[in-house]
Amino acid sequence: MSVLGARKQFEEIAVYSPGKPIEELKREMGITEVVKMASNENPFGASPKALEAMKEELTQLHYYPEITSPLVREKLANRLGISPDAVVVGNGSDEVIRMLTRTYLSPGEEVVMASVTFPRYKTNVIIEGGIPVDVAMKDGAHDLEAMLQAITSRTKMVFVCNPNNPTGTIVDKQELQMFIERVPKDVMVILDEAYYEFIRGDNDPNSLALLDKHTNLVILRTFSKIYGLASARIGYGIMHPEMVAELLKSKEPFNVNRMAQAGALAALDDEAFLHMTLEENNRGRMYLEEEAEALGLSYFDTHTNFIMIDVKMDAELVYNRLLEQGVIIRPGHMMGYPTMLRVTIGTKEQNEKFVESLKKALAVS
């Protein structure tokens, strides 16, 4: 029996590899206690207000959702000081990435991105027949000057993940603004700010203020991280209204379910939950940094809810030793950093469990 072949582009694509599920590790290892610190989920759950709103929305489960999430667009627009017409809501910000490449990228056109960044950029570019152009990182961060030099007459888009996943690093805001000024106006600049709310100090790139001047600018954000709605799948893009109108043609009709829309609306009103998450994340970050330094390990300065630590040995080996102790993290060998681990900043108990387990993993000869 013959099997029909997929399009040629799919020869270059692997199935997305998420962090190992808790249930899978329990079955494999025969253990009951597992700590998952691999997928940058909010360890403190979701807003109680969001959970209550989603429960109430279950009574409307038999109705399709509104196709453009108008209430979410309006509330976001009011919060951000922009027009609702400048917002498109997706099934996670992943879907907005897919809308952008599906709508604007033609076969053979190039898309510039960092060599170590969110892998779905490259996947979606390849699916549409585009050509991803990788630019080497500089100290774990985007090398914006090198990315500018990589732009050619064939370039259609540039992705800048800021803060970057998986390194957690951020680019200097003045350098970012100068970069956007220098990118040709017919090249789309996509700033992925999935971890925007975690940015510390005066490092806020203030990207929204650039929208009026740069009609080629797109900003991506999500409810998956700080708002704890990862499973609900809801994110959004901010861009010129004419671009939004084009994306609405390519998105799936009922892409964001009723519960996700209700949860997002309520989450935006729960400032207490947001501030608690930020405070606990900052406390956990400082603890992990201190413990890494005590072990003589270096790390990237992070502006996210995760941290990349250099364990100075085979990351895959350390990863497997941690699994044996019921701790799931992300090994850096899968992301271009063979001696580093990416660890979600967890609760106090989770962070302490990770450090205890890491010490044991590193001590094994």
Whole-angstrom Cα distance, residue 121 to residue 101? 9
How many other C-beta atoms are found inside a 10 Å radius of the C-beta of residue 363? 8
Task: Give tens-digit pLDDT for 39-69.
Answer: 999 999 999 999 999 999 999 999 999 999 9
Confidence at residue 102, expressed as pLDDT on a 0 to 100 scale: 97
- Helix spans in the chain (H): 22-29, 48-57, 70-80, 93-104, 120-127, 144-150, 173-182, 241-250, 258-267, 271-294, 315-324, 348-363
Mean of pLDDT values over 211-217: 97
Predicted local distance difference test score (pLDDT) of residue 302: 98
pLDDT of res. 2 = 56
The hierarchical CATH code for the domain 48-269 is: 3.40.640.10
Enter the tokens of residue 83.
Answer: 């027009």
Residue 1 pLDDT > 60: no
Report residue 79: phi and psi, to 5°.
Answer: -70, -40
- Cα separation, 160 vs 1, in Å, equals 45
What pLDDT does residue 365 have? 52
- Two tokens, residue 228: 């704890």
Average pLDDT of the residues of the chain: 95
* Sequence ranges of the domains in the chain: 16-45+272-363, 48-269
Residue 352: how many other CB atoms lie within 10 Å: 16
Cβ pair 315, 354 in contact under 8 A: no
Counting residues of the chain whose pLDDT is more than 90, the rounded percentage is 89
pTM of structure:
0.95
The yes-or-no verdict on residue 17 having pLDDT over 70 is: no
Digit-coded pLDDT (tens) for 23-32: 777 777 777 7
Q: Which helix (H) or strand (E) holds 314?
A: none
Tens-digit pLDDT profile for residues 339-348: 999 999 999 9
Cα separation, 288 vs 59, whole angstroms: 43
Q: Where is average pLDDT lowest: 14-28, 135-149, 223-237, 260-274? A: 14-28
Ramachandran category for residue 129: left, alpha or beta (phi over 0 → left; psi -120 to 50 → alpha): left
* Dist CA 98 CA 95 (whole Å): 5
**DSSP state letters, 105-171:** PPTT-EEEEESSS-THHHHHHHHTT-EEEEE--BTTB--HHHHHHH--TTEEEEEEESS-TTT----
CATH number of 16-45+272-363: 3.90.1150.10
